[in-house]
Structure 1
């Protein structure tokens, strides 16, 4: 009888071992991967967060994305917003990054007068770099909503949230994950910087925080951003983008923004980033909000009224201008909507 019990125990042990070898742990079978001794680094950008700003990595439950209460903290190392957190150990690959502090204001050219907080929600399975910016912040609550309330997978929720946000700003050419984008990287970085400028506007940090919160809540609930504050952003985008393209305009707002960003390059060192080009992104944003439609050779001379009732240009007429001397592009080069006066 003793040998029978030993045989049964050995058989059970072997079956369990076979199960673990074939399928791993139950968490692995459900796609949950623990993060071990990882260094997580990146840049924090509104404009860049200032040295000393706090950065926190929050551990999330692998199934619910609820914070477990375990966290890893560090601070921004330089005024370019960079950070690194060493020896990160998490129960799942999903993490929420939070940055809080002052930032370089690209519109005023000064450090911000108040502190802000931005978040980023990410999957650390195959990445060590996570950037935190306005795009990552806007998508965070939307992803949580899609996963926690609608039962979507993390990957599908991220894909949908990013598509919705890019579409809302008419930045359909952006293909990277938001946490991969750096405002100084060119290309998608230009789109991110345009978005940062749009959300900041020429108001206070309190105005920016309120606008960002309203947009994030709207995205979280509906996957879209509506409301009077978006029309106000579009009006400001129209004014500064059109100002830049007007003749005999000196010291335009966009020129000052470019000079402010260029001044962030460290003194006595070779310049290693250039101020992003954002004119075209601002143009795409405001013509979409005004619902003006395409402007090209086939629409040259067409007149259309602004359809957004929240805009101060509501019912004002715009005319499609086409210049035969230039190649017509979607971002307003060679053909653009102009206010009919």
Structure 2
């Protein structure tokens, strides 16, 4: 089934199958300092004494670390360090955690990127990291923080957040060019929009993403503002994002032609890199933020609450490269769980921040 067919199946069935309320997900942010625990620190070759750290960093979204959910303000940052010894849980599994400081938790240690790292996202092959740096710019670097390049420079008075890689190969059959882009959210004059730029640009100028609705009679329009939290994955370069105004998750397909539709009530969506039809997102249920999995089938989308017995908030989900595991943030650290919901979440790290997987 093509990306267009999947998108059309989702939107038609979702309008009938899902009428749940708007999510109320709230993020709790914790900044871990460079000392005070037993984890070692790996210093990147690009780290300089004069590099800007957290103190000189511009805000990402409306928070001072992590990422802003749907453009809304998060709770105040806590500077409490993890209890010694800190539970790391990032060795040999590709999991990474960024919390707005210059230190990224990864490979069982912490790597010094030499600048504040917000909303870290990895290229599908794991060779490059994209993030919002201490100057509020969109940057790309090697996994150890070296070779940092400013892909796009923030002109000022804007908030940039949550970059994601849109990568797909050249399609010889349909003559569709290859893509290697970075999509991200921009708040300008309190208005959120989605932007894109080639990942290989150097201080380039990003452009507003087109957000066209699916064609056909009765197809609802797509909101052009209030959009944030983009996430792209899969061989077609399809992406999902959240809209603060409607409280819904949307899908954007530009494979054969650009079109999109509403998927479900929720926020903070992520697409499976391995299974294009699988999307995880956050929705408030019974006073806690739950993780939901949406799977597209020929009969329409199906929805599953992956955390039906939640006694805490699960936010900011991310898929592993094979699509079998989901990592999520909680107030006490990072948890992982099977993407099929067969087991309850297990805490793997006492560090709190934005989880992401390096391919």
Normalising by structure 2, we get a TM-score of 0.24
Q: Which has the higher contact order (CA 8 A, sep 6+)?
A: 2
* TM-score (norm: length of structure 1): 0.25
**Whose strand proportion is higher, 1 or 2?**
2
